[in-house]
A = this chain, B = another copy of it.
Amino acid sequence: MNRGRNLIIGQSGGPTAAINSSLAGVIEGALASDKIDTVYGMINGVNGLFERNVINLTEIFKNKAYELNRLMLTPAMYLGSCRHKISDDEFEKIIDTLKSYDVGYFIYIGGNDSMDTVNRLSQYTAEKHIDINIVGVPKTVDNDLMGIDHSPGFGSAAKYIATAVREVAYDTSIYAIKSVHIIEAMGRNAGWLTAASVLARDGVSNAPHLVYLPEVPFSVDNFVRDVKEKLKTLNSVIVVVSEGLKDEEGNYISAGENSCDKFGHVMLSGVGAYLKSVVEKQIGCKVRALEPSVLQRSAGHTASLTDIEEAFNLGLVAASAAINGQSGVFSTLKRISDAPYSVAYSTENVSVVANAEKKVPLEWINEQGNDVTNEMISYLKPLINGVPQVPYRNGLPDYIDVSHLDRRNQSYSEDSEEF
């Protein structure tokens, strides 16, 4: 039997509801190719590679269509993650390890940091004439990647936020009392997820009534004025704010480290909790702050089918690119049209996405800095479409078993700034 070479895949950075769909796409593409012998997965990204913490994905998924479908619909990362930024002097060790597994194809799913790894590793293999193709697959809930119309993972998080805003609007519609709800969306530097909350508007409810993106300096005075103005005609005002709002001087809007509890513990709190206290003090009506936090990035039960399918296709495209000799590229998509919605898949040089950040264009934010334009809505609208058939068992989403992560993670603990 004429054996091909092996393909290895890893995941890195923060979780989304669609990364495993990209993994499923890579696996399906690799299993279908006669150039690939075995598909390996590294556990916890390149950290797993260093420790030879590698699993055989061919064994797990070959001829297992149902399991591959479950993988597509399981949030977070089947292979685990890491935040490790590879230094140049680690390249040799990585290549040696890859060679020991007879790897000819290395695929990495991640955000702009991970694409930097792909970029530098592919430059190294090119310079050294090492016959391993290095290809990236993009992902992030923040939608801040360059070189792609929108990031896989974003559509599902956008759908979560819009659904939450709509349901809060229904929740609060029942009372004839003046109230304010402040919902804090993820996206420290880019306001895409905050903007996506406006999809909750449907001609029936106009919630959210105010949205504040981090691209525009935030003024507490203007916020109070805006909310008071809305309260003139509405009983219930729903506001969505980015977790990363900053004032004119570039300081984050939050209670800061000076807040304390009754035992003197420092109480850090975010912009939502802070603005809640502002409304209590300066307006005096009922107010709630809601912070969906990680629930918005891992909500597989309400994923966007469009997002899941696109993430899968980007995995397929990356596997095919690597197998057909490309290296130093990432799989991407361009939008052909909004309505009917259509995209075209391709690959591009990974240097365009590495370390760069795509913010919301200022012309898609209104003049008052408290809403977005129709161009933004046209851009966002197709991304949340479609309801995936998530499998259920005993009333809950029946995601794929990831207990291999528990077992392996218990053996060591990585130090990380973010989690």
Q: Is B255 in contact with A267, judged by CB distance below 8 angstroms?
A: yes
| Bound CA–CA A266/B394 (angstroms) | 44
The answer, yes or no, to whether A409 is at the interface (CB within 8 Å) is: yes
CB nearest neighbor in B for A171: B298
Q: Which of A95-103, A156-164, A323-331 contacts B (4 or more CB under 8 A)?
A: A156-164
A sample of 10 more A-B contacts (CB under 8 A), given A177-B419, A292-B295, is A15-B171, A167-B295, A176-B409, A202-B393, A205-B406, A235-B409, A255-B267, A267-B277, A288-B294, A384-B396
| Bound CA–CA A15/B162 (angstroms) | 19
Contact indicator per residue, chain A 38-78, by CB within 8 Å of chain B (1) or not (0): 00000010010000000000000000000000000011110
Question: Which residues of B lie under 8 Å from residue A402 when comparing CB positions?
Answer: 170, 173, 204-205
Number of interface residues of A (CB under 8 A): 98
| Bound CA–CA A342/B259 (angstroms) | 52
Question: Which residues of B lie under 8 Å from residue A75 when comparing CB positions?
Answer: 167, 170-171
State the 8 A-B residue pairs at the shortest beta-carbon distance, nearest first.
A384-B395, A255-B261, A171-B298, A258-B262, A76-B170, A265-B277, A81-B174, A385-B395
A-B contact pairs, 15 of them (CB 8 A): A80-B175, A164-B295, A168-B298, A171-B298, A177-B415, A177-B419, A202-B393, A204-B402, A233-B410, A255-B261, A261-B277, A265-B277, A286-B419, A295-B295, A384-B395
Q: Is A403 in contact with B204, judged by CB distance below 8 angstroms?
A: yes
Q: Answer whether A392 and B396 are a contact pair too, CB < 8 Å, given A74-B170, A301-B167.
A: no
Interface set of A (CB-CB < 8 Å, partner B): 11, 15, 44, 47, 74-77, 80-82, 159, 162-164, 166-168, 170-179, 199-200, 202, 204-205, 233-236, 255-256, 258-262, 265-267, 269, 273-274, 277-278, 280-281, 286, 288, 290-295, 297-302, 304, 306, 381, 383-387, 392-399, 401-403, 405-406, 408-410, 412-416, 419
